[in-house]
A and B are shown apart, each in its own frame.
Chain A
Amino acid sequence: MTDAGPAITISRVVKYYGDVLAVNDVSLMVDEGEFVTLLGPSGCGKSTLLRMVAGFIEPNSGDILLHGKSVVGVPPYRRNTSMVFQDYALFPHRTVAQNLAFGLRMRKMPRPDISARVTAMLELLGLPGMGERRITEISGGQQQRVALGRALVVEPAVLLLDEPLGALDFKLRKQMQSELKRIQRQVGITFIYVTHDQEEALTMSDRVAVMNAGQIEQCDTPERVYRYPRSSFVADFVGEANLMTCRVVATQGEIVRVRNQSGEEFLARFNGDRQIAVGEEVRLVVRPENIRIDSQDGLHGTVEDVVFSGAMAKVSIALADGSHLSVAVPAGNALPAKSARVALSWDADNAVIVA
């Protein structure tokens, strides 16, 4: 759309609410046309960060640049950002078309241009001919689309979405996820999306920034965030994770030999930027679906429970050192009996050291 370079640069932003540190020294760059999700539990500072980009909140320190220009101190109505609100915030006293036209009217666009753009937007949203309806007369899913359209129609440099699908039921949410992705590809506008739903984040985003306690713990592609979490928080928040504490026995590049508390040894992987030392205590993550239960050799444990749940069965296993592992077995595979002795193994690539 414009010259190269990041659409948004968030640089060392800090925000306090009274004495509470909501956003702690966060930096993030978002490229033109990229779909970035801020993912985290409630209170992690993701919405605060989004609202600082929109201009509803000013940071205590740090800078926010839109296409290379600082917008700190610029009121929301002079920033080229648009927001989709969790409760949609549609104007109940206006029709669908009037809601869509609001931003264009504020920009003093000539009337014929406004009506042309509104008609085109109704088409894009899959709501043709609905312009004259009142907001109270359309369904929740349709309201969601109108909210999206109202923000998109002004062609913002960045679209900010604050848990926009939170109020929809499960099926509609699934449908809107792919719809959102389609619309984003079609219009090519940069999206920053806030959610606490990890699945939503993984399916839609180009990159996911996982936030915790006011900081971004990891920002990477959905696949890398899932496969190579940088911290135990990320591992635990994104998908299901088995966390183990082990001691480093030997290192060879990225592959590390570790020993667990009951003296069993296996290989793991370390992607961090620091050096890892022999004798160091580390935490590592293995995903339930990456554990093999039928091997001859490996970690020994006892089956505690088997829970069948459709496509997967969940087997929980007690290890010799007293810790527990959860294993996911796809349907159709043989399931171990309760209190059977089993040996567990996994590829070194799937045991990721997080700290």
Chain B
Amino acid sequence: MASVTALPDRTLAAARPAGSGRVFGLAYVSLVYAFFYIPIVVIILFAFSGRSIPALPLEHFTTRWFHEALDDRQLVASLWSSTWIALLTAVMATAIGMPAAMVLAWRPFRGKAIIFGLILSPIIIPQMVVGISLLLLFRYSPQLLGTIGIVIAHTTLTLCFSVMIFYSRLLGFRRSLIEAAMDLGASEPRVFFEVILPLTTPAILAVMLLTFTESFGEFIVAWFVAGFEETLPIAIWTSLRFGLSPKINAIATLIMIVSITLSAFAQFWILRQTRGKPAQPRP
């Protein structure tokens, strides 16, 4: 995060406005960041607050809610089931999205624009509609409702992101690398595992992170096709009927710590992989 926000600062430094303009600019930036981060900060603060309802003023510091949250079997079970579903979704979206992007990026064929449109349209279809239509579809095989149903639904939702990320990465992939590998004796599967896969690892990682996160927090569509399965968002939604327990804040804080650590590691790794690329020869 820090590296991303540092960039605009540096580029704007040369043209920094004076006086009132500068004050206005600072206020604007502060507001934007406040808008982004206050909800998150609030959750973290309340997770450590001793009061049993999330209300001001904050009282004595405690880690009690973390213990209670991790002792709540139902909540923990829903956490695992969400993790499991998100992992499966990430794998599915990658496994389906990457070959599709390979064809779209590397093969010339008629009607590519139409295919693109069809792949991207789930973005503009309201999730309500996707949820209802999947529920109707699953009436013909109700045994799929539950974990499998949610994985299928989430794969449908995230596939377009997966294809687009892979597509942009593979467009820049030098064709001659594949030809060179074949020329040196690598059959198609070997070319894939020796050349294509290692060089697209950053994209694979990015897709997995994105689709995992999307699936992990998705509520609307999951709600329709969950059957008796309870994902974390569903569990939280259900528990809201009995009042907002601070346990929820604690679990949300934990999830945030894990996901920020994960994505920081991924960022770091990708940056290290891509460093020194300009030395590549240009044809």
Binding site for B on A (CB under 8 A): 54-56, 75-78, 81-83, 85-93, 102-103, 106-107, 134-138, 140, 143, 150-151, 154, 166-167
Contacts and interface: CB of A to CB of B under 8 A. Distances in A.
A86 B184 contact: no
B179 A134 contact: no
A167 B199 contact: no
A75 B182 CA distance: 8
B277 A82 contact: no
Contacts of B186: 77, 102, 106
A91 B179 contact: no
B258 interface: no
Given A54-B179, A83-B183, A103-B184, 19 more contacts: A56-B179, A76-B182, A76-B183, A77-B183, A77-B184, A77-B187, A82-B184, A87-B282, A89-B174, A89-B177, A89-B179, A91-B180, A92-B277, A102-B184, A102-B186, A106-B184, A135-B279, A151-B184, A167-B282
B280 to A, nearest CB: 7
A167 B280 CA distance: 11
A86 B279 contact: no
A102 B195 CA distance: 11
A75 B187 CA distance: 9
B119 to A, nearest CB: 27
Most chain A CB within a 10 A radius of its CB, from B186, B199, B279:
B279
Contacts of B176: 85-87, 89
A147 to B, nearest CB: 8
B179 A136 contact: no
A93 B199 contact: yes
B243 interface: no
A91 B176 CA distance: 10
Contacts of B21: none
B126 interface: no
Interface residues on chain B, size class:
20 to 34
Nearest to A82: B183
Given A103-B185, A107-B185, A136-B277, A92 B179 contact: no
Given A77-B187, A167-B283, A85 B180 contact: yes
A154 B185 CA distance: 10
Please provide the 9 A-B residue pairs with the shortest distance between their CB atoms, ordered closest to farther: A106-B185, A103-B184, A89-B176, A89-B180, A87-B283, A136-B276, A136-B279, A76-B182, A85-B176
Interface string B245-270: 00000000000000000000000000
A103 B177 CA distance: 13
B179 A85 contact: yes
Nearest to A80: B185
Contacts of B184: 77, 82, 102-103, 106, 150-151, 154
Nearest to A87: B283
Contacts of B39: none
Contacts of B283: 86-87, 166-167
Majority DSSP secondary structure for residues of B touching A:
helix
A56 B179 CA distance: 7
Contacts of B277: 92, 136
A135 B277 CA distance: 10
A131 B79 CA distance: 49
Contacts of A75: 182, 187
Nearest to B179: A56
Nearest to A94: B198
Contacts of B187: 75, 77
B276 to A, nearest CB: 4
Interface string B12-44: 000000000000000000000000000000000
Interface in B158-194: 174, 176-177, 179-187, 190, 194
B281 interface: yes
B277 to A, nearest CB: 7
Contacts of B180: 83, 85, 89-91, 150
Contacts of B179: 54, 56, 76, 83, 85, 89
A83 B279 CA distance: 22
A128 B119 CA distance: 51
Contacts of A102: 181, 184, 186, 194
Nearest to B277: A136
A13 B181 CA distance: 26
A143 B186 CA distance: 21
Contacts of A85: 176, 179-180
Contacts of A77: 182-187
A90 B183 CA distance: 12
A103 B198 CA distance: 17
Contacts of B177: 89, 91
Nearest to A83: B183
Nearest to A106: B185
Interface in B189-212: 190, 194-195, 198-199
A143 B282 CA distance: 12
Contacts of B185: 77-78, 103, 106-107, 154
B30 to A, nearest CB: 41
A150 B181 CA distance: 11
